[in-house]
Homo-oligomer: A and B are copies of this chain.
Amino acid sequence: MIIQIEAESDIPIYTQLTNQIIEGIARGEIAPGDSLPSVRAFAADLGVNMHTVNKSYHELEKKGIISIVPKSGAIISPTERISEEKKQQIITDLKPVIAEALVLGVNKKEVQEFVNTILGEMKER
- A contact set with B: CB distance below 8 Å: 19, 22-23, 25-26, 63-65, 79-82, 86-87, 90-91, 93-108, 111-112, 114-119, 122-125
Contact of A122 among B87, B98, B104 (CB under 8 A): B98
Q: Are B63 and A99 in contact (CB under 8 A)?
A: no
Contact at A23–B99, with CB atoms within 8 Å? Answer: yes
Closest residue of B by beta carbon distance from A114: B91
List 19 A-B residue pairs with CB atoms under 8 Å apart, sorted by A's residue number.
A22-B99, A22-B100, A25-B99, A26-B100, A63-B100, A65-B100, A79-B104, A80-B105, A82-B104, A82-B105, A87-B114, A91-B118, A95-B118, A98-B115, A98-B118, A98-B119, A98-B122, A99-B118, A103-B125
Q: Main SS of the interface on chain A?
A: helix
Residue contact A23 to B95, C-beta cutoff 8 Å: yes
